[in-house]
Amino acid sequence: MFGTGVGAGYDSHSTISATSSKLTEPTVSSRARLVMQGRRTKKCVKTSREASENTVRPEGTRRNFIRPAAVHHCRKGSRLRPFDYRTEWSNSGSDIQYLATIPIGTPQRNFNIIVDSGSGVFWVGSNICKFDGGGPCGHHTYLSEKESSTFVNSKIPWHATYGSGNASGEVVRDNVIVAGMQLTNFCFGVANVLSSEFTTDGNIDGLMGLARSSITSLKLPTPVEEMARRGLIPAAITSYRLPRRTDSINDGEISFGGLDESRINASELITVPSADPGFWIAEMGPVTVNGEDIGLTGRSALLDTGTTLMAASADDVQAIHKKIPGAKHSTQGYTVPCNTTAVLALTFGGRSFPINTQELARGSATQRTGDCGSGISGVEEEEDGWIKPPSDRSEMWIFCAVMFGRDPEPKEPKKMGLYIFLRHHP
């Protein structure tokens, strides 16, 4: 199933999940899990169509821990010191990016990989990687036949474009371990050329796209699709539970092949059709501010763990902020009072999902007075990085990872499930 997660409303989190495709009967009914700790990526809005601590739980669930890493904004932003998953989180900084540590090659070496539900390519840097502005890519972990005896280069070219950069290189085969499961001779990309958005952050070694492979030109299976094809998991289902740094709780995870039902009441799951053959897109119902329907209809939402803010058309964003007391607009975007109590809620499948005020007022967990940057960004359709909505939908919104959560298991293919669960703080 597909899922993305983030706080939604007060002390709650919401969950989003969806199945990728109808698959043949699996030979194994296991569920693998990556347990994540922090951070969302600000890659702006994508235009592309195209430290592994493995723990075996009693029920056979495998986990990979995803730890915070330094991040870049699309145009500006501060860098954050990475934290080991076993250490106490700092309450400063923003949830910008989620990384998984993935062992690759022979001998195995760990790569820090961005987890991105809004793209479909898995790649790491090659040992000949060049910055597209000239010069080497910088200090990263790289992959080639020199580092791995099981590495095979097909020389087939690939290219991916993101809202905040691009990557290109060649398709290779090597052994990859995800959530304790080894994908022998797995096909993925090595990047020979990267834009500065990827090269300047030494904590990023690659990216794992978890949209459907149909959005890519080469149609290479994503890791979750390949796990299902090999019978390692019951189905190509991904669920996300993304932590918030300010909660100081390292409880995020990705589940492959199913849903951790110990964390939710599955009977309360809301499922909605995936409105796109490749991306995880859901139709939206009414948008409300403090319970008032602000009249935005015909909208749909791309659910993307690789985007930090919520992005929508400039007109929609203006309509929302007009209803938030104290909201202001400047050349840097909108601000809202750090102590705002405004409740922005989005509707999916007939259920209203309120956005946590920590996501609406960015930085409000540590700054309780003055103005904070709004978590909602307006984008003009002609601006670079704005994804064009399908022809049958008038407006497309992009939801960052922190806006919603993950974890449920729908029973039909190509669906997403949404779920809200409460977290009680001491």
> What positions carry a catalytic annotation?
116, 304
Antiparallel, parallel or unpaired: β 361-362 and 415-422? unpaired
Antiparallel, parallel or unpaired: β 122-131 and 181-194? parallel
Comparing CA positions, the residue from 256, 119, 111 lying closest to residue 174 is: 111
Please report where in the chains the tokens 């999940």 appear, as a residue.
17
Comparing CA positions, the residue from 235, 153, 137 lying closest to residue 188 is: 153
Q: How would you class 2 by CB atoms within 10 Å of its CB: exposed for 0-12, middle for 13-18, buried for 19 or more?
A: buried
**Structure tokens belonging to residue 27:** 């030979």
Exposure string for 146-185, b = 16+ CB within 10 A, e = fewer = ebbeebeeeeeebbbbbbbbbbbbbbbbbbbbbbbbebee
DSSP element (H, E) containing 319: helix 314-322
DSSP element (H, E) containing 320: helix 314-322
Residue 53: alpha-carbon gap to chain centroid: 20
Residue 318: helix, strand or coil by DSSP?
helix
Antiparallel, parallel or unpaired: β 292-293 and 181-194? unpaired
- 27 residue type, one letter: T
Residue 266: helix, strand or coil by DSSP?
helix
- 307 residue type, one letter: T
